[in-house]
Amino acid sequence: MSDTPIPDLPRRDFIRELVADDVATGRFGRPPATRFPPEPNGFLHMGHAKSICLNFGIAREFGGTCNLRFDDTNPFTEEMQYVEAIKRDVEWLGFKWDGEFYASDYFEQLYDIAELLVKKGKAYVDDQTEEEIRTNRGTVTSPGTPSPFRNRSTDENLDLLRRMKAGEFADGACVLRAKIDMAHPNMIMRDPLLLRIRRGAHHYRRGTSWHIFPLYDFAHGLSDAIEGITRSLCTLEFKDNRDIYDWLVEHAGFTDPPRQIEFARLELDYTVLSKRKLLRLVNEGHVSGWDDPRMPTIAGLRRRGVRPEAIRDFAEVIGVARKDARVEIASFEHAVRNDLNMEVPRVLCVLKPLKVVLTNYPEGRVEMLEAQNYPHDVPKTGTRQIPFSRELYIDRDDFMEVPAKKFFRLSPGSEVRLRFGYIIKCEELVKDAAGNVVELRCTYDAETKSGGANSDKKVKGTIHWVSAAQALSCEVRLYDRLFSIPDPDDVPEGQDFISALNPDSLVVIPEAKVEPTVGQDPVGTRYQFERAGYFMSDVEDSRPGKLVFNRIVGLRDSWAKEVKKG
Ligand code: ATP
Ligand code: MG
């Protein structure tokens, strides 16, 4: 309409460029209308999150609308529990849909369009089997063979279509096909299937009353058109479907048709982003459920402790491209760490407890030390009091009997600072019959606490600790990559992605020791356990007196370090 560009429209990727042009030129004569169209046959995953952030993000940024449409045209795989999970996940990600729609509510409208196409001579009922139809479709280099039923009269087609709908025919007896071109260079255009019979199949919303189900191509574009969508965003594998999309909306009589744009699907290393594969992991018991914290599902990430902000930031960072590319999991972990770093308080938790006895500390005495909650973030304040006493736990990894080079933590005769506390010196080891170190006997220097006479004494290492008597026992679940190779489908002939599962993706520490201050926090509280990573108490399995923590992400990329070590 106006030829002055609207300067502040976001144009940071090729899709937003197009939408900005639509707005600037008034192409659709209305604000951008997008939709997120999941099939309710599983839980949403990170790939869907990318699509959600894109579709809802565009609506938000351009003052348009975004519908949530359940693409529920397959009676065999869809369930109400998935609809509910999808709605919960979209909301949790921070988005509110304008309309909530179901393709299964359009079955009547789609049927009317089917009759219209038949009347226009643009569709016919074919009695060939789907197998015959496939073989007769030809190849990229040779045209297809027209069906012997292709030239049925309109009346005969209409009669058969009505009887298909009435449930007179068995599954597979016939199908409705578009009548386009059996020699079309795009194979999809060689008279694609529109409706097939699933007589008496139980659809989770329509029950058993509906007998003819639309195929993806028939339902998808027309649903977009019915809802007045302007830009229909989908992943690249649907590029070849764009011809049939356009053909159907045109022949169904929509004068202001939506336009499909394809973008790269998200593929993330060391995981699988496909509901079908994730369903197998659930059904075969490789994970505890759709919300297992190792799953790349929104529900799994939520349970693990990832915040929606991190997922949205990640979607922003990876952007939208026209070419498929795998994304390194490290870039997702970076987004998660980055989001939590400034947000969550620090606490001390010892994952692998090793007893330390301070031989010169009075027995029975407990003093409270002041600890900063946000030592990383000066504007945020807050301190807490943590108990200190003669018997402590430190982490086994902070002790080496024969220290490696540059090991600045505890070893016989060495000194180390206890976080928020004193400098201690390792004087003696206690071993069990097998020769394992089971206790360290140390001395502490009472003047090395903050404010003490020797408080500026320097030692090279600072380690975390908890007071043995007051620490709370907790279970800690450490998660690692679900698959041991970047592309889980890249397995030897005869095997599938299941064989690429990482056997160590979950390590349970049955008894770690955490400082007592966390005991009062509600489940689902997130922390950084200093020097150990980011954790959240598990919302399902934590009980009063028996906390369970999930590791959300480590402090840095431990894999990159291992690769470097070689
Ligand atoms: P799956 O193979 O996991 O079932 P799908 O594409 O069949 O994926 P749908 O429920 O049909 O899943 O998808 C809903 C929307 O999410 C579609 O618009 C689809 O393009 C998008 N989507 C699904 N997976 C990805 C992905 N990996 N990256 C980006 N978008 C995706
Ligand atoms: Mg699908």
Residue closest to 300 by CA, chosen among 46, 52, 55: 46
Q: Give the percent of the chain with pLDDT over 90.
A: 91
Tell me which DSSP letter residue 283 carries: H
Nearest-CA residue for ligand 1 atom 9 is 38
Distance between CA atoms of 53 and 92, rounded to whole angstroms? Answer: 12
- Least confident stretch, 44-53, 351-360, 450-459, 479-488: 450-459
Average pLDDT for 94-116: 98
Q: Work out the pLDDT band at 308, boundaries 50, 70, 90.
A: very high
As a whole-number percent, the residues of the chain with pLDDT over 70 amount to: 97
In angstroms, what is the span from residue 102 Cα to ligand 2's centroid? 14
Residue located nearest, by CA, to atom 16 of ligand 1: 48
Distance from Cα 48 to the centre of ligand 1, integer Å: 5
Does 274 sit in the ligand 1 pocket, CB within 6 Å? yes
Give SS3 for 235.
strand
Gap from CA of 115 to ligand 1 centroid (Å): 30
Structure confidence at residue 1 (pLDDT): 44
Q: How many CB atoms lie within 10 A of CB 335?
A: 22
Contacting residues for 559 by C-beta, under 8 A, at least 6 apart = 330, 481
Which of the 8 DSSP states describes residue 296? S
What separation in Å is there between the alpha carbon of 235 and the centre of ligand 1? 7
CB 307 within 8 A of CB 339: yes
Query: Ligand 1: distance of its center to the CA of 219 in Å?
Result: 16
The average pLDDT across 291-298 equals: 98
Helix (H, G, I), strand (E, B) or coil at 158: helix
Query: Is any atom of ligand 1 closer than 6 Å to the C-beta of 235?
Result: yes
Strand (E) or helix (H) holding 21: helix 14-25
Identify which ligand lies nearest to the alpha carbon of 37. Answer: 1
Q: Does the pLDDT value for residue 4 go beyond 60? A: no
Least confident of 137-141, 174-178, 555-559: 555-559
**Domain coordinates of the chain in residue numbers?**
14-97+264-335, 110-216, 346-565
Which residue from 15, 51, 239, 327 has its CB within 8 A of the most atoms of ligand 1, so it is best to mutate? 51
The reply to whether ligand 1 has any atom less than 6 angstroms from the CB of 513 is no
Does any ligand 1 atom lie closer than 6 A to the CB of residue 53?
no
Say yes or no: CB of residue 296 within 6 Å of ligand 1: no
CB of 184 within 6 A of ligand 1: the answer is no
Q: Which long-range contacts (CB under 8 A, 24 or more apart) does 537-542 make?
A: 538/303, 538/477, 539/303, 540/303, 541/475
Taking only the tens place, the pLDDT of each residue in 258-287 is 999 999 999 999 999 999 999 999 999 999
Catalytic site positions: 39, 265, 275
Q: Could you tell me the distance, in angstroms and rounded to a whole number, from the CA of residue 106 to the centre of ligand 2?
A: 18
Is the pLDDT at 373 greater than 70? The verdict is yes
Q: Give 468-482 pLDDT, tens digit per residue.
A: 999 999 999 999 999
User: CB atoms < 10 A from the CB of 108, how many?
Assistant: 10
Closest by CA position to 401, among listed 445, 439, 433, 359:
439
Token pair for 289 = 């459920």
pLDDT at residue 566 is higher than 60: no
486 closest CA partner among 268, 266, 265: 268
185-233 per-position pLDDT tens digit: 999 999 999 999 999 899 999 999 999 999 999 999 999 999 999 999 9
Res 130 pLDDT > 50: yes
Atom of ligand 1 nearest to the CA of 276: 4
Tell me which CATH homologous superfamily contains domain 14-97+264-335. HUPs (3.40.50.620)
Q: Is the CB of 273 under 6 A from ligand 1?
A: yes
Q: 188 alpha carbon to ligand 2 midpoint, in Å?
A: 17
Say what the pLDDT of residue 565 is.
Answer: 43
Angle at 366 between CA 363 and CA 370, to 5 degrees: 145
Please provide the average confidence, as pLDDT, over all residues in the chain.
95
Q: Which ligand is nearest to the CA of 275?
A: 1
Q: Given the CA of residue 267, which atom of ligand 1 is nearest to it?
A: 27
How many CB atoms within 10 Å of residue 80? 10
Tell me the β-bridge partners of 443: 425
Q: Distance (Å, rounded) from C-alpha 211 to C-alpha 64?
A: 36
The band of 249, judged by pLDDT with boundaries at 50, 70 and 90, is very high
The CA-based dihedral angle spanning residues 21, 23, 29, 31, taken in that order and rounded to the nearest 10 degrees: 130
Report whether pLDDT(378) > 80. Answer: no
Q: Which helix (H) or strand (E) holds 364?
A: none
Grouping H, G, I as helix, E, B as strand and the rest as coil, residue 300 is helix
Q: Is 51 in the pocket of ligand 1 (CB under 6 A)?
A: yes
Given a contact cutoff of 8 angstroms between Cβ atoms, the answer to whether 145 and 94 are in contact is: no
Strand partners, 550: 477, 536
Q: What is the CATH number of domain 110-216?
A: 3.90.800.10
Tell whether the torsion through CA atoms of 424, 429, 430 and 436 is positive or negative: positive
CA separation for the pair 425, 411 (Å, rounded): 9
Residue with CA at minimum distance from ligand 1 atom 10: 38
Confidence of residue 310 (pLDDT cuts 50, 70, 90): very high
Check pLDDT > 60 for residue 561: no
Q: Whose CA is nearest to atom 12 of ligand 1?
A: 38
Architecture per CATH, domain 346-565, reads as Beta Barrel (2.40)
Cα 186 from Cα 240, distance rounded (Å)? 7
* Per-residue pLDDT, 376: 75
Name the residue of 73, 78, 235 whose CB sits within 8 Å of the most ligand 1 atoms, as the mutation to test its pocket. 235
